[in-house]
Amino acid sequence: MQKIKIIVSGGGTGGHIYPAISIANALKAKQDDIEILFVGAEGKMEMEKVPAAGYKIVGLPIRGLQRNFNKENLKFFSRLFKSLRKAKKIIKEFKPNAVVGVGGYASGPLLHAANKMGIPSLIQEQNSYAGITNKLLAKKANKICVAYSGMERFFPADKILFTGNPVRKDLAKLDNLKSEAQQFFNLDPNKKTLLVIGGSLGARTINHSIIENIEAFRNEPVQVIWQCGKFYHQEMKEKLAKANVDNIQIFDFVSRMDLAYACADLVISRAGAGTISELCLVKKACILVPSPNVSEDHQTKNAMALVDQDAALMIPDIESKKRLVDESLLLLHDESKLVKLRENIALLAKPNAADEIAEEILKMIKQ
């Protein structure tokens, strides 16, 4: 029997890359001799993260259009044509049985070339609001895996599969980790714990909302684990030291997110699709502060999909400095509301997303 070959394309952010790697791992678990090639965008983080996960990756020269006028925008079309040519060449040489697009710049040229060449394709749309690239690619795609209901607004209903977003396997079993987590972070088991996360680079508004209202934590019977991101770490650390508030631990990056989630009673976070899928899986009450710096304001739409189910609270970025700290402290003292949010967010979890998507890819190849 001929070896199955699959190209997984996309990236740009962790929200695209980690689901892509999860899908590749699930495919390998189902059929060890599958050959998987990743196609990303040159200079983007996938070029580093994918090889670290043990997979080969090829880069396309594609770049996105900048919102403000920028000289780089003048090169957009030449890069796009070069990327389309290179994508076609990669497909001819690798001869995949199927291609998978996870969003991000590289998935456009690769899936477009594959569709032209009659190769089956599957799109994995992480957000509740589909991006332009995936809406265009959907017309020729065989299957579209989504994480939110109502996606027939963007895609043909007969192609949609509600699988959820793939998340890291280490987050699936946190039930017995709470005491280990409390020891790891040196926490008081009798106090409520607030976890503040803004991604590996940090979230400017969330960080400033915390530091500008830092005094509010001083006499509260709560403890805070604050991942502020490497970009803001030095500045926030110095300001925290001056404030002399001792129930807050600050990190540039939390390596054991499983333990951070395990001990958290409440999470403050941006509303990226991957993070929301993690919060559903780990069943955590959360306050979401959507980033305004994303295309089509999709983080607000992601957050509202939870708010409408009474599964999260949302504070707009522009109101965060005034409201975030006060409302998080109020919520930490409202046990019945915390329980309600935990119960409702747990109903939205899709723990087997990567396996279901892998199964659909293999099924598509056999058909």
The reply, when asked if residue 249 is annotated as ligand binding, is no
Report CA-CA distances (Å) from 231 to 136, 249, 283. 35, 17, 29
Residue 346 burial (C-beta neighbours within 10 Å; 0-12, 13-18, 19+): middle
Residues of the chain with CATH 3.40.50.2000: 5-167+351-366, 170-346
Q: Is a pLDDT exceeding 90 seen at residue 354?
A: yes
Determine contact, residues 189/182, Cβ cutoff 8 Å.
Answer: yes
Task: Kindly report the pTM of this predicted structure.
Answer: 0.86
Q: How far is CA 156 from CA 7, 136, 143, in A?
A: 23, 11, 10
Is 127 labeled as ligand-binding? yes
Residue 283 φ then ψ, to 5°: 60, 50
122 and 364 in contact (C-beta within 8 Å)?
yes
3-state secondary structure of 197: strand
Per the CB < 8 A criterion, the answer to whether 325 and 210 are in contact is yes
pLDDT digits 0-9 by tens, 180-237: 999 999 999 999 999 999 766 668 999 999 999 999 999 999 999 999 998 899 999 9
Class of domain 5-167+351-366: alpha beta
Q: Which of 218, 206, 215, 231 is nearest to 321 (CA)?
A: 206
What is the average pLDDT score of the chain? 91
Residue 299 labelled as part of a binding site:
yes
255 assigned ligand-binding residue: no
CB within 8 A of 364, min separation 6: which ones?
98, 120, 122, 142, 143
Consult the annotation and say whether 15 binds a ligand: yes
Is 54 a known ligand-binding residue? no
Tell me the CATH number for domain 170-346.
3.40.50.2000
- The predicted pLDDT at position 320 comes to 97
**Is 97 annotated as a binding-site member?**
no
